[in-house]
Amino acid sequence: MELELRDILLAQKKAKDVIPASPLVRSSYFSRIIGSEILLKLENLQETGSFKVRGAYNRVSELAPEEKQRGVIAASAGNHAQGVAWACTRLGIKATIVMPEDVSIRKLLAVKDYGAEIILYGARFDEAYARALEISREAGHVFISAFADPFVIAGQGTVALELSEFQDRETAIVVPVGGGGLISGIAIAAKAIFPSVRVIGIQTKSCPSTIRSLQQGKPVSVEMHHTIADGIAVNRPGDLNFSLIQQLVDEVVDVDEEAIAAAILSLLDKASIVAEGAGAVPLAALMEGCITTKAKRYILIISGGNLEINTMDRILHRGSVKMGRLLRIEVDLLDVPGSLWKLMGIIAEEKANILHIFHDRFNLENPIQITRVKLNLETRGHDHATDLLTKLREAGYDVKQTS
């Protein structure tokens, strides 16, 4: 099946009364610090918390009556699972989702709430994926791919139709890339509407499968490492997706974990937007200067907002360090009355906020009369943190900054 704009327009027509257009908002703050107009496409506000409902609904709605009777099966640890379960519930079709055994409880319960049968299998996604294919062959369920399917791609491409009035030669659309379903669909529609618009893909350095594939000229698998952008942790792009990316996408770059964490925090702090790691990578790439394509306007696809509660604290901590909002220091003090008070006085004068303090009198590295003090300080940014460190060192303290 050769995908064209008309396929995406048809997908939009089918979903018209089911999947609302997501908001597109301008960020004055990010526009100012980046130096270009920044628009945020908030797919995190879709009912399941991500864009995946678009492709899943379009694919499931294409099933023949006999296929609907057989039911569908998919493999996913998160957003695709919720999208398929949601679409099947809307259309009255039985859905089975195979998820890895270590899937988060939050995601598992979300899929269950949408009415799908859940099978837990394997320690990794690829094992769950293989099991889903096996069940599909044995039981006759229709397998719904997360990205390597023309109808899924067409459904994801409807995002670009909602951006048509902003597309021109001065615009770049910045898209997270995992298996390639979202960016290939967006690229088809965007380039058909205005061929000079730029489409830029963002991956994580922990799983740069599309980047490596582009370098080698064919889809290749890469070794996956842990990433907070787990929604785009796909070790190999789909064949059809890769072909479309080769033809239509202008640039694909990657970002590191600290940059992603900082972007999550920035979106929360400056725009009141909850984005998961995959949804934050477009902003991370711009803030880090990774994108070489220059544009007067960037449209960032905030692809999802399913951020795990139990990992949010760690993500925000890493983001705070990256942004200079959290300063962690160690200072050795003479263990006499007033020493700690004097140190805290300088910190108070510099208007830093003490979040945590640990007074370690038993540190074996120090002489018995010396106490090591560890502090976590909230600061206003890198300049404020630097000023505070300078003041402390001018006062005679040997300050060590820790990560």
Q: Which of 184, 303, 320, 322 is catalytic?
A: 303
User: What pLDDT, on a 0 to 100 scale, did the predictor assign at position 67?
Assistant: 96
* Segment among 56-65, 241-250, 287-296, 358-367 with least mean pLDDT: 358-367
* Cα distance between residue 279 and residue 284, in whole Å: 10
- Position 84 confidence tier, pLDDT thresholds 50, 70, 90: very high
Residues 315-334: pLDDT tens digits? 777 778 888 899 999 999 98
Amino acid at 212: R
User: What pLDDT, on a 0 to 100 scale, did the predictor assign at position 164?
Assistant: 87
Mean pLDDT value across residues 18-27: 97
Mean pLDDT value across residues 185-214: 97
Classify domain 324-402 by CATH architecture: 2-Layer Sandwich (3.30)
- Contact, 222 vs 209, CB < 8 A? yes
Any catalytic annotation for residue 400? Answer: no
In the predicted structure, residue 311 carries a pLDDT above the cut 80: no
Q: Which of 52, 107, 191, 322 is catalytic?
A: 52
User: What pLDDT, on a 0 to 100 scale, did the predictor assign at position 361?
Assistant: 78
In the predicted structure, residue 47 carries a pLDDT above the cut 70: yes
* Segment among 70-74, 87-91, 109-113 with least mean pLDDT: 109-113
Q: How many CB atoms lie within 10 A of CB 397?
A: 18
- Residue 264, CB-side half-sphere exposure with 13 Å CA sphere: 30
Q: What is the DSSP string of 198-242?
A: EEEEEEETT--HHHHHHHHTS---------S-GGG--SS--HHHH
Percent above pLDDT 70 for the chain: 100
In the predicted structure, residue 3 carries a pLDDT above the cut 90: yes
Task: Kindly report the pTM of this predicted structure.
Answer: 0.87
Rounded (10°) angle between helices 105-113 and 79-91? 10
What residue segments make up the domains of the chain, in order of their start?
5-50+154-320, 52-143, 324-402
In the predicted structure, residue 403 carries a pLDDT above the cut 80: no
In the predicted structure, residue 363 carries a pLDDT above the cut 80: no
- Neighbour order of strands in the sheet with 24-26: 24-26, 37-42, 297-302, 171-176, 198-204, 251-255
CATH topology of domain 5-50+154-320: Rossmann fold (3.40.50)
Residue whose entry in the numeric block shows the structure tokens 């582009």: 214
Residues 118-142: pLDDT tens digits? 999 988 777 888 999 999 999 999 9
How far out from the chain centre does Cα 274 lie? 10
* Cα distance between residue 138 and residue 155, in whole Å: 28
Better-scored residue on pLDDT, 77 or 90:
90
- Contact, 328 vs 364, CB < 8 A? no
In the predicted structure, residue 95 carries a pLDDT above the cut 70: yes
- Contact, 215 vs 201, CB < 8 A? no
Q: Kindly report the average pLDDT of the chain as a whole number.
A: 93
Closest CA to 252 of 183, 306, 202: 202
Mean pLDDT value across residues 12-38: 97
Mean pLDDT value across residues 53-68: 97
User: What pLDDT, on a 0 to 100 scale, did the predictor assign at position 312?
Assistant: 81
- Position 80 confidence tier, pLDDT thresholds 50, 70, 90: very high
Percent above pLDDT 90 for the chain: 81
Mean pLDDT value across residues 376-402: 93
CATH topology of domain 52-143: Rossmann fold (3.40.50)
In the predicted structure, residue 185 carries a pLDDT above the cut 90: yes
Q: Do domains 5-50+154-320 and 324-402 have the same CATH topology?
A: no
User: What pLDDT, on a 0 to 100 scale, did the predictor assign at position 1?
Assistant: 65
User: What pLDDT, on a 0 to 100 scale, did the predictor assign at position 107?
Assistant: 83
User: What pLDDT, on a 0 to 100 scale, did the predictor assign at position 70?
Assistant: 96
In the predicted structure, residue 243 carries a pLDDT above the cut 80: yes
